[in-house]
Amino acid sequence: MFENLLTRITSGDQQALARAISLVENEAPGYFDWLKKLPVTDVKLIGITGPPGSGKSTLVDGLIEGLLQKNKKVGVLCVDPSSPFHQGALLGDRIRMNEWFTNPNVFIRSLSSKGRLGGLNPRTLAISEVMKVAGFDAILIETVGVGQNEVEIASLADTTVVVLVPESGDSMQAIKSGLLEVADIFVVNKCDRPGADIFIKNLSSAMARGFKKNENPIPIVKTNALLRKGIDHLLSELEKASTKEKKHAAGNRLFAQRAWYEIQRYCMKDLTVEMLEKEIENMPERKLNLYLFLEKYIRQEFK
């Protein structure tokens, strides 16, 4: 099933890449052993996150165009809301990016969020590891816009871009949701709208209160993605972020976060809410002690 796929992917075969992604997403037999054979690369993952309506897809479209102008090869993972009926991606056609589908230097794949609150598909990390060996210069991961819970991308991406808009009061939302901590770059999109400068000033003040002396503030980039304004500035900041040498401890933490993400998923994959609900229905006691119920699921050393 996985025979010769790695060779074909590293040679630039996008059909082989698409096939491998499907096999990994569906956890086909042998996929884990195949993932262990993937070579380690230095390709950086760039996460694009933010609330609904902030213009993430349009911004990604602009970044694709800007990277192509620099003769770069781009991979894109778009995590879309999932259908409540078949769990597939509702926006899988990616209308905003349709001009790139025939470009040999661009690969775009839509994934369903599978209803997860973190804004990612459960197999996003594994799929991105597959894409890393395909020779891309940059891999963009656009998350679902789900608000305050959407910080999962920070555990997976090398650089996290948080996209905000001036009129939605997102400076306060950024502070409340922890986005101040997870962002490597802030983008204030639709910056031609009223209140953009005041919004940026408030965001800068919030960051100033949250950082210690001698710490570098997070860059704030003004864009109008639809008109392609500010895209070059954002690409410049992304380049700086990718070449910035991270401290050894920071690199270890990112690797540990990725490992924790996968360990948690594997340990929980056979356990569903529906399964627990059926078990509860078959229990005679109606007044349930939560921790007595959990006892058989929790390892002895944690009791």
Give the strand pairing for 185-188 and 220-222. Answer: parallel
Q: Which range has the top average pLDDT, 36-45, 66-75, 113-122, 234-243?
A: 66-75
CA–CA dist 184, 117 (Å, integer):
21
Quick: pLDDT tens for 174-205. Answer: 555 566 677 899 999 999 998 899 889 888 88
Domains of the chain: 1-38 (no CATH), 39-247 (3.40.50.300)
Q: Which range has the top average pLDDT, 18-22, 113-117, 154-158, 260-264?
A: 18-22
Residue 117 confidence (pLDDT): 47
Alpha helices in 178-296 (DSSP H): 179-182, 196-210, 231-243, 248-268, 273-281, 290-294
More confident residue, 297 or 299: 297
Is the distance from CB of 130 to CB of 16 less than 8 angstroms? no
Residue 267 confidence (pLDDT): 81
Q: Which two tokens stand for residue 75?
A: 């991979």
Residue 10 confidence (pLDDT): 95
Average pLDDT over residues 246-254: 69
Residue 265 confidence (pLDDT): 79
Per-residue pLDDT band for 249 (boundaries 50, 70, 90) equals: low
More confident residue, 110 or 227: 227
CA–CA dist 129, 123 (Å, integer):
10
* Cα 146–Cα 147–Cα 152 angle in degrees, nearest 5: 75
Per-residue pLDDT band for 270 (boundaries 50, 70, 90) equals: confident
CA–CA dist 208, 303 (Å, integer):
42
Residue 144 confidence (pLDDT): 76
pLDDT at 102 over 90: no
Residue 275 confidence (pLDDT): 85
Q: Which two tokens stand for residue 37?
A: 């054979």
More confident residue, 62 or 96: 62
| Edge-to-edge strands, sheet with 220-222 | 106-112, 74-80, 138-142, 45-49, 159-164, 185-188, 220-222
Q: What is the mean pLDDT of the chain?
A: 82
pLDDT at 92 over 50: no
